[in-house]
Amino acid sequence: MFGLTREEMTTLKKLNTPRKIQDFLENLPINFEPEGDTCLSPRRVLRERRAHCIEGAMLAALALRLQGERPLVLDLTSAPHDHDHVVAVFKQHGHWGAISKTNHAVLRYREPVYRTIRELVLSYFHEYTDNHGKKTLRSYALPVDLSRFDARGWMTSEEDVWYVPEYLCDVRHYPLLTRNQRATLRHADPLEQDAGSLTQWKKSTTRAGGKKKI
């Protein structure tokens, strides 16, 4: 199915709930991109045992697809000096949740308790800060169904699938804040900044070493 091998199908079929998918991603070392920027397909993530946010989101979307769900990913955009983030989204009992691959203590899994995509995105707002405690989440796009890229082989490609993040950058994004709201934002306090600096994977304990914040 979808060009996946029997071994790949066996691994992914076991991830039959969003919680199991999230647990699987948390046990994957973060992809620090030691040889330069990557956008690995789910096949390469499974083989190389590493992922950063969009790579994890695509793997999660594929696992959801094998359970009969649409493979949806959601792009969150930040202020220009900070990093964007991508999550896989799913719906249960009429509410949205998110599966997230990140190396930090925040911007993680979201339970399916949000009535709208905007509500879900706003759940990330207060923890989405830069290294100086400035809140930097600025906009979001509606979920993108990755099946639109089936003909290009996004699930099993041996090459980096840059067309996925390029498309996510180009789709319409919706602002979260007005100019006045941005002007009056309070910085995260020192304790919040300390919590936000916690990381799961260290360069010396993974196969990779590198660059991405989330």
**Residue 122, C-beta contacts closer than 8 angstroms, at least 6 positions apart:** 176
pTM of the complete model: 0.94
CA distances from 147 to 44, 69, 143, 151 (A): 18, 11, 12, 8
pLDDT band at 207 (very low <50, low <70, confident <90, very high): very low
pLDDT band at 203 (very low <50, low <70, confident <90, very high): confident
Which of 25, 84, 8 shows the shortest CA–CA distance to 60? 25
pLDDT score at 212: 36
**Residue 62 backbone phi and psi in degrees, to 5:** -65, -45
CB atoms inside a 10 Å sphere around CB 199: 13
Q: Where are the chain's structural domains?
A: 6-203
CATH 3.10.620 fits 6-203, yes or no: yes
For the stretch 139-191, pLDDT in tens is 999 999 999 999 999 999 999 999 999 999 999 999 999 999 999 999 999 99
pLDDT score at 208: 36
